[in-house]
Structure 1
Amino acid sequence: MKTILFLFSFFIFSGAVYSQAIKLDLSGNDKNHVFIVQKDGLNVRLDSKGGLQNDIGDKPVKRDLNGRLSDIDGLVIDYDINGRVRQIGDDRIDYDINDRVRQIGNKRIDYDINNRVRQIGDDRVDYDINNRVRQIGDDQVDYDINNRVRQIGDKRIDYDINNRVRQIGDDRVDYDINGRIRQIGDKRIDYDINGQMREISDLGDNLLLLYKTIQSFNNKNAH
């Protein structure tokens, strides 16, 4: 599923999305999809059973008496009596009789008989015979012979000889001598003496998500 994780993170980064506020991350198993809710500049990851899947990083957070996240950098999270997320900011979360997320704010979520997400709001998600996403809204998704995402809409994805992502549309991805991502487009990534990325807040939440996704994607391809 690593190509799917990369695929949907790319949609978030590029803005070529199939919903104004709700994106889909199919990096988990097919029975527990993850929706990415964009609110107030943050990406909140909500699984289809109503649980939060967030990597908070250095954002300020608050927790309720049960130890659950109740505030992420000013964005309030509420839960129902079953412990499921029921509201993110001003977006209410509703569930179907199968206990799956069926609506986030004004965006309805539909599933097919195979439990795959089929539609988010007005945008349809189609799959090929290999169960790979082939179209999201108006954007076609193409793959190369190595099963890597090659093109999304009019954005081409290129790889280097080490099977690492090297370009996304017009944005080049560069690496340092240690194999770490050095630059994405015009955004430079610096590291401290311990090898940890610094100045994370300057990247923005979308670019940070893409950074982590490319890093994970490249690491898996190396094995």
Structure 2
Amino acid sequence: MRKTMRIMRLTLTLALAAAIVGVIWQRLGPRLEDLPDSAVKPKPLDPAFIRLTPRETATLPLATRFDMPLGTEHGAFTYNARAFRIERHLGDDLNGIGGENSDLGDPVYAAGAGRVVYAGNPGSGWGKMILIAHRLPEGDELGPVVQTMYAHLESMKVRTGQTVQRGDPIGTVGTADGAYLAHLHFEVRVGPYVNPGQGYADTALNRKSPETFIRTQNGAGPSVLNPAPQKD
């Protein structure tokens, strides 16, 4: 009986102490609205640490052909304003033949069958960006997976995880939220790592020439893109 009474008194004492601590914390502790955003909001996963798993790679749609993402399938009505590796450039800057902002809002198409692995605005001057992963036929020299990247978009018509087919409209040409004249920054990347990355580098990193890649993947002639219009 005495032991039971001691246990009851101890339980009541602990409960009272917990209540007192709660009142003190409520009065003196930091309020949620007083904390910085970094303390109360989870940070988004850094895309630099996203890697497609072997299972995800194996279940990607098979891409047996690639076309140009702007203009016609062979890039008619477009020109390459800044080609791959010109001034350390890691992609092709595709423009409508009218130049300047004449192509603002023009449709952008998926270059090949694949799955959207990123659709968002990563900042750093990219504007809206879409990354699509494609599974290549077995034995392709580039490996099992490549990614195509479409940046500076005005709008996006797809979401992460969505499957697309070659030629599906995925967005529209934009200006990276007013940072540039309207154009499509288009890249081809080799490997499973999903990372917005940078648009310029001293080496090519894991990028391939988009023009060369498209030419070898769809049987186009020696010049896929129209030359830039000549000024008078």
Larger radius of gyration: 2
User: Would you tell me which structure has more strand in proportion to its own residues?
Assistant: 1
TM-score, normalised with respect to structure 1: 0.20
User: Would you tell me which structure has more helix in proportion to its own residues?
Assistant: 2
